[in-house]
Amino acid sequence: MTKRLFDVLASFFGLLILTPVFALIAVWIKLDSAGPVFFRQERVGLFGVPFKIHKFRTMRVDAEKSGRLTVGADSRITRSGHFLRKTKIDELPQLIDVFLGRMSLVGPRPEVQEFIDCYPAEVREKVLSVRPGITDKASIEMVDENELLAKYDDFRQAYIDIILPIKQAYYVEYVDSQSLLLDFKLIILTLKKIITR
């Protein structure tokens, strides 16, 4: 209950304060490439219920036709998208999802069904027992995931065999030890990671 109250208050004031910034970014995205401001993709949420996540669009509109994973210097990324991704600003619209109760500020990152299906049953059950989050330990430790995947010829299989197990371990660790204090710590570490980049 305390976590949800924190999420609601933080997302509400965050959206309120960031509205002018969102407006400027929206104009930049529209001027930079054709298409909507937001990228909406179905992800798996609490108890396996699907929802459409909000992110600033950083790629061409038809990007998903070439695959869901982003690898290295992906040619599908727009000029504005490179900056938004590097600074993680593209993730900020997820405050909308937090406010609506679909996500939390901190929690396991929400995956598409394709990759949720690759989770071991016991891990999937545990990870989906909490709201997915905007940030978590996996997001901090694996901030350069795209560059890591670029080293492999079959990057989709590399994501399933190498990246996912690491993420799952972080997710399970979070679910087993979650607390408001841990959430504060992970938010601070996330901001520190973004600034130091």
At 107-152, the pLDDT tens digits run: 999 999 999 999 999 999 999 999 999 999 999 988 778 777 878 8
The whole-number pLDDT of residue 74 equals 78
Residue with structure tokens 């430790």? 141
Q: Delimit the domains of the chain by residue range.
A: 2-196
Confidence class of residue 197 from pLDDT cuts 50, 70 and 90? low
The CA–CA distances, whole Å, from 40 to 90, 104, 124, 193 equal 12, 17, 23, 26
The whole-number pLDDT of residue 62 equals 81
Note the pLDDT tens digit of each residue in 58-87.
Answer: 998 887 776 777 776 778 899 999 999 989
Spatial CB neighbours of 88, under 8 Å, sequence gap ≥ 6: 190, 194
| Ordered DSSP codes for 40-63 | EEEEE-GGG-EEEEEEE--B-TTG
- Averaged over 12-17, what is the pLDDT? 97
- Averaged over 45-52, what is the pLDDT? 97
pLDDT at 55 over 70: yes
The whole-number pLDDT of residue 83 equals 93
pTM: 0.90
Q: Provide, rounded to the nearest whole percent, the portion of the chain with pLDDT above 90.
A: 77
The more confident residue out of 153 and 136 is: 136
Q: Is 104 helix (H, G, I), strand (E, B) or coil?
A: strand
On average, the pLDDT of the chain sits at 92
Spatial CB neighbours of 54, under 8 Å, sequence gap ≥ 6: 38, 39, 40, 93, 94, 96, 97
